[in-house]
Amino acid sequence: MMTNISPNLAIGIDIGGTNSEYGIVNHRGEILIKGKIRTDTYNTVEPYINELYENLMPIIDDYRKVGNVLGIGVGAPNANYYKGIIEYAPNLRWNGVVPLAQLITQKFGLPCTLTNDANAAALGEMIYGAAKGFRDFIMVTLGTGMGSALVCNRQLVYGQDGYAGELGHTTIIRGGRKHWKTDILGSLESYVSATGVMLTAKEMLQQSNEYSSLREYDDKLINSRLVYECAMKGDKIAKEVYRFTGQILGEALANFVMVTSPEAIVLFGGVIKAGELFLAPAREHMEKNLLPLYKNKVKIILSELNEADAAILGASTLVWELPYVTNV
């Protein structure tokens, strides 16, 4: 007896502030084909969906010859898993509430689920990356901002409204630095994101008269990457910026570890490129602030996926959990 074995396929889309990347993914987590369009050239969502359709639909049609395309999973900033909407995303030009899942389903004729970008990355790591096999972990993305997601008992923690896991907005230094957007004082994001690294560097330069190669640059050119480069050349202040950043992250991780008791913290994003400069103090101060019960149990590990792939893969995994898929 011959059986027609058509592999199931899922679409993953990662919507970022500048670009949107998409891919067709099989059950093994292999991205069979990838592509991208701009996100930031559209003031409203409808022409964006049209552009996405014109680029992606021909590929979907191609792959339908060899497999079953089951649906579309999307990772996007401020996306709500429960409602299928994007709400007031500060990094997107579409204003207000965007019913993205519904718009995509209507246009493509395929079921669509979305989740926020940090959750998508956590799913990608859990199923295909550094967190493979972990039941409990915390994902932290340190880019321009800080994203984060909690996985407990192999499930993403969504909370009452889909907005759980905003670790970056918790207060780490009471009465500390005012956040440029939220006005919260001393929030974690304001210290450990790339923006935080830049602000710490500027503060440290102002507060001391010590020589630093960073002083040779115009104030506007100082960013987390330049601080890293100077630190690698031995600049004392630049090194101290990353040491301090790592310490603050470590202290915060100790708190989160005592909340969810994860096996690992998976780190991701530009800031972690500073490597041990930043990771050594993070580990040290995490351990230092833990109760003995938790010490030397929690791994700090780095993402194994490249950034674009992690988000596409993670978003695609949403498709395997679509309710109807369980009946396939």
Residue type at 201 in one-letter notation:
A
Binding part of the chain for its own copies, among 11-19, 172-180, 212-220, 236-244 by CB under 8 A, reads 172-180
Long-range pairs of 102-107 with CB within 8 A, sequence gap ≥ 24:
103/45, 103/46, 103/49, 104/49, 104/52, 104/72, 104/74, 105/72, 107/49, 107/50, 107/52, 107/53
Bridge partners of residue 301, in order along the sequence = 266
Residue type at 44 in one-letter notation:
T
Residue type at 189 in one-letter notation:
E
Binding part of the chain for its own copies, among 25-33, 107-115, 232-240, 248-256 by CB under 8 A, reads 248-256
In the numeric block, which tokens belong to residue 160? 């009452």
Number of residues that bind its own copies (CB under 8 A): 42
Candidate residues 40, 51, 166, 307; the one interacting with its own copies per rule CB under 8 A? 166
- Which residues ranging from 72 to 101 are in contact with its own copies (CB under 8 A)? 87
Residue type at 20 in one-letter notation:
S
Task: Kindly list the distances between the CA atom of residue 83 and the CA atoms of 86, 92, 323, in Å, as whole numbers in the listed order.
Answer: 9, 18, 15
Q: Does 254 bind its own copies (CB under 8 A)?
A: yes
Separation CA 59–CA 326 (nearest Å): 25
- Which residues ranging from 99 to 138 are in contact with its own copies (CB under 8 A)? 135-136
Closest to its own copies by CB, 291 vs 328, is 291
Residue 270-289 contact track with its own copies, rule CB under 8 A, x = bound: -------------------x
Residue 254 C-beta: closest distance to its own copies, Å: 7
In the numeric block, which tokens belong to residue 151? 């996985």
Task: Kindly list the distances between the CA atom of residue 241 and the CA atoms of 178, 200, 202, 234, 277, in Å, as whole numbers in the listed order.
Answer: 18, 6, 9, 12, 9
Burial 254-263 (b: 16+ CB within 10 A, else e): bebbeeeebb
Candidate residues 261, 275, 276, 321; the one interacting with its own copies per rule CB under 8 A? 261
Q: Does 161 bind its own copies (CB under 8 A)?
A: yes
Closest to its own copies by CB, 13 vs 301, is 301
Closest to its own copies by CB, 57 vs 152, is 152
Closest to its own copies by CB, 106 vs 261, is 261
Candidate residues 25, 31, 167, 279; the one interacting with its own copies per rule CB under 8 A? 167
Q: Which stretches of the chain bind its own copies, using CB under 8 A? A: 87, 135-136, 150, 152-153, 155, 157-167, 169-174, 182, 184, 251, 254-256, 258-263, 289, 291, 293-294, 297-298
